[in-house]
Amino acid sequence: MDPLSSMLSCLCGSDDDYHWHKNSAGSAQPFISSAELKRALSAPRAPPPKRTGERFTAAEKAVADVLSILRAAENDTSAELPQQVDDIVTAQGGWTEWIAEGILNGIKAVLEQGDPDKIGSAMKSAYDRSVDAAGTAFQFAEDHPVAAAGLLTIVAVGVLVLLAPVVVEALGFAELGPVEGSFAAWWESTYAGYIPKGSLFSFFQRLGMLWGRA
């Protein structure tokens, strides 16, 4: 079993923990779970948005809405996902690093805690492709717990490359390397010595990442 499969072999979830809605075909699809959303909104490294007295700020609502559609998406609608994600965030005030980090942490929570039967085929496919693209370059992570934690982030970023690449750019992962002062720069420095030099960019290339936004 590969390192990531080992880490995620205990995927679990309770129907009571999930919010459900009916998709256009009338079948039930899960929104992000309460536990996953709580983790996503509390974990970002960037400063949180200021509360306005409402239950959610616009930024928090953007994170929740994006995670919901990414989790429930099926392959036949995946081509529309990048624009849907961008539209959701733009309607709530635009991209910030806090929003991007919240989305990334939500994806990690889904991979760690969510039942694989409760995610759509688009995310399942993106996960499989991301693990495959990671390849042997990250096999050493099995023997290095610190690197294994970094590997989960890499695979979650890979899922976003395939489903919503604008999130990856908002995190500061750029074609020529991490943007100074960004989450990407902080993350790379944290795992320096564990993630082989140049392997992350090669990973993006294998997934077909194209940079088209600032």
- The three-state secondary structure class of 55 is coil
In this structure, the number of other CB atoms found within 10 A of the CB of residue 180 comes to 9
Range of the domain at 47: 19-207
Q: How far apart are CA 69 and CA 71, in angstroms?
A: 5
- Give pLDDT tens digits for 119-167: 888 998 999 898 888 775 556 555 666 666 678 888 899 999 999 999 9
Answer whether residue 6 is part of any domain. no
Q: How far apart are CA 44 and CA 26, in angstroms?
A: 34
**Per the structure block, which two tokens stand in for 67?**
């995670």
* Nearest Cα residue to 157 out of 137, 187, 121, 135: 187
Answer whether residue 99 is part of any domain. yes
Give me the pLDDT at residue 148, please: 65
Answer whether residue 89 is part of any domain. yes
One-letter amino acid for residue 5 of the chain = S
Tens digit of pLDDT at every position of the chain (214 positions): 444 444 344 333 333 343 333 444 444 444 566 777 777 888 888 888 877 666 678 899 999 999 999 988 987 666 788 999 999 999 999 999 999 999 999 999 888 865 667 788 899 899 989 888 877 555 655 566 666 667 888 889 999 999 999 999 999 998 888 899 999 999 888 877 667 777 788 888 889 898 865 4
Answer whether residue 90 is part of any domain. yes
Scanning the chain, the segments in alpha helix (DSSP H) are: 3-8, 34-42, 58-72, 81-91, 97-113, 121-134, 145-163, 165-170, 183-190, 199-207
Answer whether residue 35 is part of any domain. yes
Answer whether residue 9 is part of any domain. no
pTM beyond 0.85: the answer is no
Q: How far apart are CA 41 and CA 68, in angstroms?
A: 14
Buried b (16+ CB within 10 A) or exposed e, 12-26: ebeeebbeeeeeeee
* Nearest Cα residue to 97 out of 154, 169, 177, 171: 171
**Per the structure block, which two tokens stand in for 1?**
């079993």
Identify whether the C-beta of residue 48 lies closer than 8 Å to the C-beta of residue 98.
yes
Domain count along the chain: 1
Answer whether residue 169 is part of any domain. yes
- The three-state secondary structure class of 24 is coil
Answer whether residue 172 is part of any domain. yes
Give me the pLDDT at residue 139, please: 60
